[in-house]
Structure 1
Amino acid sequence: MTKKKPFPLRIDHELYAVLEQWAQEEFRSVNSHIEYLLREAAKRAGRLGKGKTDQKRS
């Protein structure tokens, strides 16, 4: 099991509402949806791949 590093995140209320609805539609918590979106962005940017932690999460 991968250890997760907790950290505070300040986010605009409007953006949070969008993320909250989006996460609900994807059957995820807001936290796991933010992690999913960041992971996908890192993959597309070529920053996450072979030799790095690259586990599918929901």
Structure 2
Amino acid sequence: MASPGKKSFPLRVDPELWAEVERLAAQELRSVNAQAEMLLREALARRGVKLGAPRGRGAPPAGPETQEEP
């Protein structure tokens, strides 16, 4: 079942490409769906598209630049 507030859609992907996404997801302890979303966000960021912060378990951990000081 899809997460609330997220759009689901069917996607046809080359098997070799999908296998690589699966491998990266496992290496980075993410679901394949979260990995695909992260890769899409990275690609858009490289093109200068600004999106809000990702939500959910697939989000990357906050870096030092986003952590609040005590």
The TM-score bracket by the shorter chain reads 0.7 to 0.9
Alignment gaps of 5+ in structure 2 = 61-70
Which TM-score applies when normalising by structure 1?
Answer: 0.79
SS in 2 for 1:23: helix
The equivalent of 1:32 in structure 2 is 34
User: Among the aligned pairs, what percent are the same residue?
Assistant: 47
Deviation of residue 54 (structure 1)?
A: 1.6
Q: What is the match of residue 41 of structure 1?
A: 43
When you count helix as a share of all residues, which structure comes out higher?
1
> If you compute each CA radius of gyration, which structure gives the higher value, 1 or 2?
2
Q: Tell me the equivalent position of 2:53.
A: 55
Aligned residues: 53
| Stretches of 4+ aligned residues off by more than 2 angstroms | none
